[in-house]
Each structure stands twice: as C-alpha cells, then as structure tokens.
Amino acid sequence: MILVLFGPPGAGKGTQADLLRDKLNLLHLSTGDILRSEVSNQSELGVIAKKYMDDGELLPDDLIISMIKNKIQSDTESSGFLLDGFPRTISQAKALDDMLKENSLTLNKVVSLEVEDEELIKRLLSRGRADDNEETIKNRLEVYKNQTLPIKDYYKASNILIEIKGDDSIEEVSSNIFNSI
C-alpha cells in the first residue's frame, strides 16, 4: 500500500503517520524529518535546506524528488510507503506518479487532513520546533495555500483523495483514516 498524508503544517500528519506506519508496516517518509536531520548533520543538502526552511519556503523540486527516490529505492522490508510532506507541488505529484510507474507501483490513497488556520497556528507555536515562530508559520501557511493546496484537485481528479477532519482527537482522526482507506 502506498499512501500520501497531505495537509498544512500542524495538521497532524506526523502523528497520524506514526500510527499508520505501525499498524500497516509502512515505511514512513517524512520530508520534514529527513530535512531536519540533514540540517542537524550539516550535510550538503542540510546547508542548502536550512536557508529555505528558515524562510518557510519549499525546497527546489529536484532536490526533494531525488531525496524521496533514493529513500524509496533503498527500502526492501516494508509492505509499502507512507509519504508525509511529499508531494508539495503539482510537478512533485507528477514526478511521484512517474517514479511509481517506473517501479510498477500505484498510489492507493491521498489522505488530506483538514484543519482551520487558527488551530494550526496554535498547534505550531506550542510544539517548540526551531522553525516554528509566528512569522515563519504564517509564511508556511501562505506557501501551502499557494503552492501545495492545488494538489488536492490533482488527486481529486484521480478519485484517490480522502478528506478527513483533522481537528478531532488523535484517536478520532486515526479511526476516520483507517475506516476510509
């Protein structure tokens, strides 16, 4: 099974991804976690990524696509993949489609977590990450609306998009996701 968890920053993608990963034995690929690790290790990718992350901007598609492709091709033990934070642009979505076709794989579902901006800002300010200050958060939400949100229509057209209310309890959201996939 191949799933994409989709939603704005703070929607609960990471929390729900952990639950899905454990229940379904999926490889959880979080671009945010991978990039924060690269920044922490001060790798070449990390140095490049830090500038974009500090500004709340998306990294160039080619860097993200290459990173995801390497992670997918290196996994041999999981029963599928759970992508969290990828794709974030239409070109990344098309690249994912191509990548999956090359490996005779199919994207099963895209789960969109729906949460109001006010709740997102509250969640993000309380989680304490270095890149979660109010100015960066507002910029990230704008970037999401302008660059990432159009992906919903892309996946809606393929009939694989599931919209889940993300401001319920963790357990309720999780149950709704499991019942929908």
Residues classed as catalytic: 13, 88, 127, 129, 140
d(CA 18, CA 6): 14
Six token digits for residue 129: 């990450």
d(CA 14, CA 5): 9
d(CA 75, CA 2): 13
Q: Position of tokens 């390497």?
A: 70
Q: Position of tokens 């920053």?
A: 9
Cβ(78)–Cβ(28) under 8 Å? no
Q: By three-state DSSP, how is residue 98 classified?
A: helix
